[in-house]
Amino acid sequence: MENQNKPENSFESIYVHIPFCEIKCPYCDFNAYSDVDHLTENLINSIEKEIIYWGTLFENQKIKSIFFGGGTPSWIESKYIQNIINIIKENFNLKKDIEITLECNPLDLTKTKVDDYQHSGINRFSVGIQSLNDKTLKFIGRNHNRKGALNALENLNDKKAKNFSVDIMFGIPYQTVAEIKETVETLIKFNPTHFSSYSFTIEPNTPFHKFVKEKKIKELDEDTYIEIFNTIYSTLKKNNYTNYEISNWALEGYESIHNSNYWDNKNFLGVGPGAHSYLNEIRFSNIKSPKKYIQHISKIQNNSNSQINNFNEFIKTINFVYDHEIITKDIKQKEYIIFALRKNTGLSKSKFNNEFNENIEKFLPENLNNFIDYNLIKTNDDIIKLTDKGKLLSNELFREILYPSGK
């Protein structure tokens, strides 16, 4: 019998973390740095070494998506992205219709760079527009303005980059309904295939957190927040975008393959400093500091899958892995429910019962009917879905599933 603890050859998605940014935005708590450009060459070499390391362990893996995130992967020279794609190609089998996404800052999307990326195999761009309002962009400390954002979109259109997503942010202090409407309507004119709309959050240990504590800025009032949220929803809906996941909208056929993989609870490999992976029921993450990551990677030795008897024990021996967590059945079941509720297809009770051989009812909050009464969820015999209002208040429902108050 096969050893159950050996790594299963089943991940199809690779995330590459590029931690560089031109400036560090004051609201950002990502693993991103604006003062380590001198490490670029070394860091890219280390990421390539890490890819080879995993490639030796999981040879012949078929890959359906690669996602360059960060940080700002477009900040570094395009040749580095090309090099990483080449190394992935040499170490894994890329599916013919693979999706390769690059997160970009609008200021980096010159025509030359778009050209370079397209030649490297990038076939999906994710552009961090956030807003087209100069006052708002300045307030959140972004290094681009409206003109720079529109210029990037023009370049993508000129270069016939068909598949691109735009990030927008809502709920920013002082943001107005009129400005978000104008932003979304203007963006739609450039024909993005996808929108990601994220709620602005004040993260601990960021300059913005300090500003709020010191009462230097005031969070947006609830009524405006709700109106802004509804405006985004109605504008995108009217323009044929489907809200296939709480924060994500796509034209038909342009749902992100890479992100859908996360929401379907599937395995994925993350490479680079601070990158997370999920393999063999274990979630683990790499050392965050680019400098320490480089130092640790320089000492690794390649193993082959056949030498690993227990993946859980093996993970502990990898020197560039910072921490790991075993995803127990209980965690998996709860995450399954939450991910399913985040998607527009909803949560199928029968699918859950089949997948886990366990009745879903014990995982659902006792006060579920309250959520129905308040029009936050709708159900039929099998499917539970969030309503539009429920999406706005989803965190309360998810909290109730994770930490039930009545049980």
Summarize as ranges the residues that interact with ligand SF4 (CB under 6 A).
Answer: 21, 24-25, 28, 30, 32, 70-72, 128
Residue 354 burial (10 A CB sphere; 0-12, 13-18, 19+) = exposed
Strand partners, 66: 14, 100
Q: Which is nearer to ligand SF4, 200 or 320 (CB)?
A: 200
Distance (Å, whole) CA 194 – CA 29 = 24
Distance (Å, whole) CA 140 – CA 142 = 6
Least distance in Å: CB of 258 to ligand SF4? 17
Evaluate whether 327 touches 379 at the Cβ level (below 8 Å).
Answer: no
Distance (Å, whole) CA 73 – CA 65 = 16
Q: Which is nearer to ligand SF4, 70 or 272 (CB)?
A: 70
Residue 195, SS3 per DSSP: strand
The structure tokens listed for 140 are: 């959140």
Evaluate whether 200 touches 27 at the Cβ level (below 8 Å).
Answer: yes
Least distance in Å: CB of 66 to ligand SF4? 19
Q: Which is nearer to ligand SF4, 274 or 390 (CB)?
A: 274
Least distance in Å: CB of 33 to ligand SF4? 9
Least distance in Å: CB of 315 to ligand SF4? 27
Q: Which is nearer to ligand SF4, 70 or 192 (CB)?
A: 70
Least distance in Å: CB of 70 to ligand SF4? 6
Distance (Å, whole) CA 130 – CA 347 = 30
Q: Which is nearer to ligand SF4, 28 or 338 (CB)?
A: 28
Least distance in Å: CB of 378 to ligand SF4? 35
DSSP string of 78-121?
HHHHHHHHHHHHHHSEEEEEEEEEEEE-GGG--HHHHHHHHHHT
DSSP string of 214-269?
TTSS-PPPHHHHHHHHHHHHHHHHHTT-EEEETTEEE-TT-S-HHHHHHHTT--BE
Count the Cβ atoms, other than its own, within 10 Å of residue 24: 15
Strand partners, 103: 126
In the chain, what is the greatest distance between 2 CA atoms, to the nearest angstrom?
Answer: 63
Least distance in Å: CB of 29 to ligand SF4? 8
Tell me how far the alpha carbon of residue 50 is from its chain's centroid.
Answer: 21
Our separate counts of H helices and E strands in the chain read: 16, 15
383, amino acid identity: I
> The sheet that has 347-348: what strands, in order across it?
347-348, 383-386, 377-379
Q: Which is nearer to ligand SF4, 72 or 248 (CB)?
A: 72
Q: Which is nearer to ligand SF4, 17 or 296 (CB)?
A: 17
Q: Which is nearer to ligand SF4, 172 or 341 (CB)?
A: 172
Least distance in Å: CB of 353 to ligand SF4? 40
Q: Which is nearer to ligand SF4, 24 or 49 (CB)?
A: 24
Q: Which is nearer to ligand SF4, 243 or 259 (CB)?
A: 259
Least distance in Å: CB of 3 to ligand SF4? 40
Least distance in Å: CB of 131 to ligand SF4? 13
Q: What angle do CA 195, 199, 203 make, to 5 degrees?
A: 130
